[in-house]
């Protein structure tokens, strides 16, 4: 479980087959074998580390369903360790399970992202959405995506400063909305 508050901007060091090496320091402070770390909002498992890097094994399924497969050495990535029960929940509840890959239509600070229209029902004005692991508040829910107003601090400490029109971003919609829909499905008509 994550909060969507990025702790560190890491760097892709290498991608060799299923093994991804990421340059980082902050997220290594209390690292353990098998620990979870969100990379652009995608929960990965630490399988090796050194003083300024760590590695994860990434499945073909994860490469196919996220923007991780499009990354190259030198690319920046958003990193976050999982929340602990004693931590503040500064963003919103994020699972690290990417729902879809969206496309930047307009970069920060007036961010606009297009997304699969099957997921737009979970996006509401003033609701939460996760973009590359960043907890953001939706300004406008659109038929084909959404907009968010990005403050300078968020732009400076995340990958949003590097994103341009046409770039891909990992999206995770609010899981509470998905659970509510499932719970109410038997009570709602399909009219």
Kindly report, residue by residue over 47-89, the tens digit of the pLDDT.
Answer: 999 999 999 999 999 999 999 999 999 999 999 999 877 777 7
- The predicted-structure confidence for 84-135, as pLDDT tens digits, reads as follows 777 777 888 899 999 999 999 999 999 999 999 999 999 999 999 999 999 9
pLDDT higher than threshold 70 for residue 189: no
Instruction: Report the predicted TM-score, pTM, of the whole model to 2 decimal places.
Output: 0.93
Fold annotation for 100-184:
Elongation Factor Tu (Ef-tu); domain 3 (2.40.30)
- Flag whether pLDDT at 191 surpasses 60: no
For 15, half-sphere exposure in the C-beta direction (CA atoms, 13 angstrom radius) is 15
Contacts of 176 (CB under 8 A, 6+ apart): 93
The whole-number pLDDT of residue 190 equals 61
CATH topology (fold) of 8-80: Elongation Factor Tu (Ef-tu); domain 3 (2.40.30)
């Amino acid at each position: 479980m994550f909060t969507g508050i990025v702790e560190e901007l890491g760097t892709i060091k290498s991608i060799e087959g299923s093994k991804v090496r990421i340059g980082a320091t902050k997220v290594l402070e209390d690292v353990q074998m098998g620990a979870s770390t969100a990379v652009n909002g995608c929960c990965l498992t630490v399988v090796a580390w050194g003083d300024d890097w760590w590695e994860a094994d990434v499945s073909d399924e994860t490469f196919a369903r996220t923007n991780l497969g499009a990354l190259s050495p030198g690319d920046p990535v958003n990193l976050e360790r999982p929340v602990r029960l004693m931590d503040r929940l500064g963003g919103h509840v994020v699972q690290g399970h990417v729902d879809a890959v969206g496309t930047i239509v307009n970069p920060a600070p007036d961010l606009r992202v297009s997304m699969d229209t099957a997921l737009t029902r979970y996006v509401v004005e003033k609701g939460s959405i996760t973009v590359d692991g960043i907890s953001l508040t939706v300004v406008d829910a659109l038929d084909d995506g959404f907009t968010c107003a990005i403050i300078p601090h968020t732009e400076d400490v995340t990958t949003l400063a590097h994103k341009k029109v046409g770039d891909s971003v990992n999206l995770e919609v609010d899981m509470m909305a998905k659970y509510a829909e499932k719970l109410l499905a038997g009570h709602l008509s399909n009219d």
